[in-house]
Amino acid sequence: MGVNMIQNHMELTFDSISQNESFARAVAAAFATQLNPTLAELSDIRTAISEAVTNAIVHGYSNNPAKKVYMSCEIQGNVFEATVIDEGKGMENVSLAMQPFYTTMPGTERSGMGFSVMEAFMDGLVVESTPGRGTKVVMTKRIGSVGDDE
Amino acid sequence: MQLANKRKGSSLTVMLTGELDHHNAADIRETLDGMLDGSVKDLILDMSGVTFMDSSGIGIVLGRYRRMQERDGRLYLSGLGGSAEKILRMAGVLGLVERK
Ligand SMILES: Nc1ncnc2c1ncn2[C@@H]1O[C@H](COP(=O)(O)OP(=O)(O)OP(=O)(O)O)[C@@H](O)[C@H]1O
Ligand SMILES: [Mg+2]
C-alpha cells in the first residue's frame, strides 16, 4: 500500500465533433497512467470514455459542432473517476436507455451497447439526465492494488 | 484506420489496422462495402491490427454479417483479442460470427 495517497484533478472542454472522441480518450488514459495501470485497465478506460463522449456528441448534441462537451478526471488513492457532461437533449428514461441493445438510432448501425460497455469496463457508473437540460455520466475504476512494486 | 485487402478465389480478407470508433465507422463501412463485388462469398475481417475498438465496431461487424447473409455468403473474424474481443463477446456477436 502506498504511503502517500495520490490526489489529482483535471478538466477539459472541447467542441462536439467526432475528431475529439480519440482526443478525449487519449487525454483520460494519459491522466490515468499516474496510477500505474495495466494495459488492460488503460484500454478499459479508453473504451468507456469513448462511449460516453460519443453519446454526448451523437445523442446529446445531434452532432452540433457549436456545442461543448465537458470532461473531468479525478484520482483519489487508487480510484480513477471520469465525468462526461453535455448540455444537450437529455433522456426521459435513463434506466430504459441503459438496457443492453436499447438505441434510438437503429438505422445507423448503432448497437445500443454503449452503456453496457461502460458498465462492464468500469467498476461504477452513474448517469443523471434531464430532458432538455443534458446528461452527466460518472464512471469510476479501481486500479489494481496488486503488483504495485514499481 | 487503414484497410488492406487480399483476394483468394471467392474469399476476401480485409486487414484492419488502427482505431475503430464512431468518428471513422462510416468511412470503414463504405470502404468495406465497396470492396464487396458480386463474386465475394467469404469475407474475413482480420482484426489483429485493431488497436482500439468501441461499440461502433459491433455495428460494423453485425452490419457486414447481415450483408454477407443477404448474398448467401459468410463473414469470419480472425485475429481477435483485447477489448475488441471483449466487446464483441458481450454483444453476443461471437455466437453468430465464426472465427478463422
Ligand atoms: N448523452 C446523451 N444524451 C441523450 N441521449 C443519450 C445520451 N447517451 C445515451 N443516450 C440515449 O441512450 C441510448 C443508448 O445509449 P448507448 O450508448 O447504450 O447506445 P447507442 O449510443 O444508441 O449505440 P452504441 O453506443 O452501441 O453505438 C441512445 O440511443 C440514446 O437514445
Ligand atoms: Mg452509444
CB B12 within 8 A of CB A44: no
For Cα atoms B76, A55, B79, give the angle at the middle one, nearest 5 degrees. Answer: 20
**ipTM topping 0.90:** yes
State the average pLDDT over residues A34-38.
96
Residue B40: its pLDDT value, please?
A: 96
Interface check A114 vs B, CB under 8 A: yes
pLDDT value at position A106? 77
Contacts of A22 in chain B (CB under 8 A): 19, 21, 23, 52
Q: Can you tell me which residue has the cell 469496463?
A: A121
Tens-place pLDDT, residues B54-73: 999 999 999 999 999 999 99
**Taking the CA atoms of chain B, what radius of gyration do you get in angstroms?**
12
Query: pLDDT, tens digit, for every residue of A53-62?
Result: 999 999 999 9
How many angstroms separate the CA atoms of A6 and A15, rounded?
30
* pLDDT score at B92: 95
pTM: 0.94
Q: Determine, for residues B59 and A111 on separate chains, whether the beta-carbon distance falls below 8 Å.
A: yes
Ligand 1 atom closest to the Cα of residue A86 is 1
The mean per-residue pLDDT over the stretch A65-74 comes to 98
Q: Is the CB of A144 under 6 A from ligand 1?
A: no
- Cα A22 from chain centroid (whole Å): 12
- Tell me if residue A52 falls in helix, strand or coil: helix
Query: Between the CA of residue A146 and those of A33, A77, A142, what are the distances in Å?
Result: 16, 14, 11
A114 band by pLDDT with thresholds 50, 70 and 90: very high
Residues 6+ away with beta carbon under 8 Å from A49: A24, A25, A28, A29, A71, A82, A84, A139
Higher-scoring residue by pLDDT: A111, A67: A67
Distance from the first to the final alpha carbon of chain A: 12
**Residue position matching grid coordinates 469470419:** B76
- The reported pLDDT for the residue numbered A146 is 52
Q: Write out pLDDT tens, residues A39-57.
A: 999 999 999 999 999 999 9
Domains of chain B with CATH codes:
2-99 (3.30.750.24)
Q: Which domains does chain A have, with CATH numbers?
A: 7-142 (3.30.565.10)
Q: What is the distance between the alpha carbons of residues A137 and A124, in angstroms, rounded to a whole number? A: 10
Vertex A107: Cα angle to A44 and B93 (nearest 5): 45
Does residue A150 register a pLDDT over 50?
no
Query: B55 CB less than 6 Å from ligand 1?
Result: yes
Q: Which of B88, B86, B83 is nearest to B75 (CA)?
A: B88
Residue A77 corresponds to which cell in the numbers above?
488513492
